[in-house]
Chains A and B, each alone.
Chain A
Amino acid sequence: MNGGRSKRLREKSVFKIVGIVLLMVLVGLMFTIVDRLPVIGNPDSAPNRHVSDYYIEEGPELTHSPNLVTGVLADFRGFDTLLETTVMFLAGVSVAMILSNRLKRHWDAGIFRKDENFGGYEVKVIMPILIPVIIVYAFYVLMHGEVSLGGGFQAGALLAMAFMLYIMFADLGKNKFRITQHFTVCVAACGVFIYFLTGFLCMINGGRFLEYEALPFSAEHGAELHATGILMIETGVTIGVMATIITILEAVVERNSLNGRS
């Protein structure tokens, strides 16, 4: 038994050395092609020409969104973001499916407070001040997404962070504010559905999928419709990302609390 273990250790160290040598060779090979990569910061390099110029020069006119990243993300590449949100939703569903095969009861949120050092009195004082600020900031990021820096993904992450802080520090025994992972999966599906719905609303008036100028709302000119469409899909993305992050958290916590007890 002892001999076998030392033999395995020897094999493992040999494997490590071979790995290091192989990776050194690969790094050397990559260094040889560094010469062909474009110079950093060169405005005339290949990745900064072609379609990128079009996005920058025509983007604010065509999408009516001063934030070029949001314009590219939500308007020029709307399909990309649509499937992206779907992937996020599928990640949440798969986490819930992997972890919930023998769930029988809901958790009581006691898991985080077994360790008394985790949240002291300072934290309990500061959290009720901090969490509303985070939520307000998240809505600011969402609403401001197409005007200045911000967007749906960031807003969703901020909202999920506010919820995470809440379940970590708040006294849940009194407040009874609980969300189960089944509920949050449904919320994530609603977020993806809002995105799809925006796409289909554009088709009512004979437009194409995700062609915001054909949205069936009354507006003075196309710019407002673009803003409405981008805001709608950003809302969908926000809800989807927020619910997915909370789903992952809830699934892990529920499973963990069950394991702790059984």
Chain B
Amino acid sequence: MDAVNIFLAEKGIYMLTVILFFLGMFGMAVCGNYMKKLICMNIMQVAVIFFFLCLGEKDGGTIPVAMEGAAGADDYVNPLPHALMLTAIVVSLGTSGVGLALLMRIKEKFGSIEEEDIIEKEKGEEADEQHDYQ
């Protein structure tokens, strides 16, 4: 039992992030609603951010702000993943914004953001065009 506890303490968080990542991927593959696909993409991004932040963790490290009496590298958590993920969060905001804008246009054009409705509508339009052509 001890071995399992130690393993979970050392590596357990990786499993959680992997599960979260693939949960997002599964949603993106399976969901028929484009809004849900977008939310699942965000879940994937959050999983990647968690993964990077896990790598920067240190036992006994404090927040990465230089202070009196703590000068060694072991006294602070790793600032590099934090700096990288700060920008990743902002980019995920931008991608969500562009995705939402595209969703609005799709909704205007097809009247729905369900994949099946859109496919049906496109088929209907093609049939109409062929009919006109003949």
Contacts and interface: CB of A to CB of B under 8 A. Distances in A.
B22 A68 contact: no
Interface residues of B, number: 55
Interface in B71-92: 71-74, 76, 78-83, 86-87, 89-91
23 contacts: A23-B29, A31-B18, A35-B11, A37-B11, A38-B55, A40-B9, A40-B57, A42-B58, A43-B74, A48-B58, A52-B73, A57-B73, A60-B66, A66-B65, A67-B64, A69-B82, A73-B87, A88-B93, A91-B97, A92-B97, A153-B89, A241-B90, A259-B108
Contacts of A55: 79-80
Interface stretch (B35-43, B98-106, B124-132): B98-106
A142 to B, nearest CB: 14
Interface stretch (A121-129, A201-209, A211-219, A248-256): A248-256
Given A31-B18, A67-B65, A88 B58 contact: no
Contacts of A87: 91, 94
A72 B101 contact: no
Nearest to A89: B94
Contact of A57 (B13, B58, B72, B94): B72
B23 to A, nearest CB: 9
Given A34-B18, A68-B66, A153-B87, 9 more contacts: A23-B29, A30-B18, A34-B14, A40-B9, A43-B73, A59-B66, A69-B82, A91-B91, A153-B86
Contacts of B63: 149
B26 A19 contact: yes
B101 A95 contact: yes
Contacts of B83: 69, 72-73, 77
Interface string A60-92: 100000111101110001001100100110111
Contacts of B82: 69
Contacts of A73: 83, 86-87
Interface of A: 8, 12, 15-16, 19-20, 23, 26-27, 30-31, 34-35, 37-43, 45, 47-48, 51-53, 55-57, 59-60, 66-69, 71-73, 77, 80-81, 84, 87-88, 90-92, 94-95, 98-99, 148-149, 151, 153, 241, 244-245, 248, 251-252, 255-256, 259
Contact of B78 (A48, A90, A151): A48
B6 to A, nearest CB: 10
Contact of B18 (A19, A27, A53, A245): A27
The 8 closest A-B pairs by CB, nearest first: A91-B94, A68-B79, A248-B97, A68-B64, A41-B59, A53-B73, A72-B83, A66-B66
A11 B66 CA distance: 59
A142 B30 CA distance: 42
Interface in B2-49: 9-11, 13-15, 18-19, 22, 25-26, 29-30, 32
A126 B102 CA distance: 35
A149 B26 contact: no
Contacts of B90: 84, 88, 153, 241
A42 B119 CA distance: 52
A77 B81 CA distance: 12
B72 A69 contact: no
A205 to B, nearest CB: 27
B74 A84 contact: no
A245 B102 CA distance: 16
A88 B91 contact: yes
B67 interface: yes
A149 B65 contact: yes
Nearest to A61: B66
Contacts of A15: 30
